[in-house]
Amino acid sequence: MIYRKKSSIAAPGEARQARVRGVLAGDLEQVIEIDTVVTGLRKAAYWAEILRRYGGGRRQRYFLVAEADGRIEGYVIGEVRDWEFGSAPCGWVFAISVRPDARLGGTGTRLLGAISDNFRRAGVSKLRTMLARDNQLILSFFRSQGMMAAPFISLEKDL
Amino acid sequence: MKLQTNTLLALYSVLEFAANPGRHLSAAEVAQKYRVSPHHLAKVLRTLGRAGLVGAVRGVGGGYRFAGNAKRLTLMDVIELFEDISAPRRAIAKGARRRSATDGIAAPQEVEDALGVVLKEIDEIAKATFRSITLDTMLKLIERRRGARG
């Protein structure tokens, strides 16, 4: 896995700049803490499985964290997905989060920039994600990064 | 999706002001740029002013300036000031064929209900899209389009 050492997408005027790197096993408790604060649900077993599947520099899978002053400020997770539903290989981001008290400092932008760089190096040129349409905060974030509606529609039904 | 003329004019105006946050623009300047009547634009600007999105400065060198937060204000915030983009809801009298309050067509309730589900889905997607795009994001999008056009 290739990590960005320094981002060129910093927000102006931020006090401290988080460094983006690959996740380490010792980061997991802070990642769980961020997710718990944001979602209100602690999912330790889920995160242990995500670390097993996406941590450790696995091919085409990326689990990155932003660290500032020894504290994990946020994380992003994604992978390259090939030929799903006729789609050419693309980079999928399925989780991104930043501590509420560390927002508006460019950390999310740096995390997304770092995983995008990894996707580019893996040979894909399209970034995709999916989220609830009432999640205005994260939707606005992705929009601010230049993301537009994809030519796919997600569907579901009760089983 | 088609927005009313006043709504479009409000969006154009507020983007014009947000792109020049430190500058006072006269209503006449904006009206001339978008080839609309100053009288028509003045009504739109009054609504934007009452909502606190633009501020008016009187006198020589006066005009309007952006008074909102471009990183927080969404397209939906502006649109909602001028129109309700939801599909028209029918006046429902349960179990009977009814005449729509909006188009005069009588339809069986189940047909109307099923169509309502589809229209609601479209409404929700449209609203989520407008709510997710801030003026700041729109200005970046405009800049990219300008770059693409060379």
Residue-level pLDDT at B142: 95
Per-residue buried b or exposed e for B101-121, using 16+ beta carbons within 10 Å of the residue's own CB:
eeeeeeeebeebeeebeeeee
Q: Which pLDDT tens digits describe chain B residue by residue (150 residues)?
A: 789 999 999 999 999 999 998 888 988 889 999 999 999 999 999 999 999 999 988 877 778 999 999 999 999 999 999 999 887 665 344 444 455 544 667 888 889 889 988 998 999 999 999 999 999 999 999 999 988 877
B120 Cβ under 8 Å from any chain A Cβ: no
Is there a contact between B132 and A146 if contact means CB atoms under 8 Å apart? no
Is there a contact between A139 and B131 if contact means CB atoms under 8 Å apart? yes
B83 Cβ under 8 Å from any chain A Cβ: no
Q: Are A54 and A36 in contact (CB under 8 A)?
A: no
> What number of other Cβ atoms are within 10 A of residue A153's Cβ?
7
**What interface predicted TM-score (ipTM) does this complex get?**
0.76
A137 Cβ under 8 Å from any chain B Cβ: no
Is there a contact between A143 and B134 if contact means CB atoms under 8 Å apart? yes
Which of B74, B128, B136 comes nearest A134 by C-beta? B128
Residue B122 to residue A65: CA distance in whole angstroms: 37
Is there a contact between B128 and A139 if contact means CB atoms under 8 Å apart? yes
Is there a contact between A136 and B131 if contact means CB atoms under 8 Å apart? yes
B118 Cβ under 8 Å from any chain A Cβ: no
DSSP sequence for A101-144: GGTTSSHHHHHHHHHHHHHHHTT---EEE---TT-HHHHHHHHH
Residue-level pLDDT at B83: 94
Residue B31 to residue B114: CA distance in whole angstroms: 44
Residue-level pLDDT at A84: 85
Q: What does the pLDDT look like over A111-135, one tens digit per residue?
A: 999 999 999 999 999 999 999 989 9
A136 Cβ under 8 Å from any chain B Cβ: yes
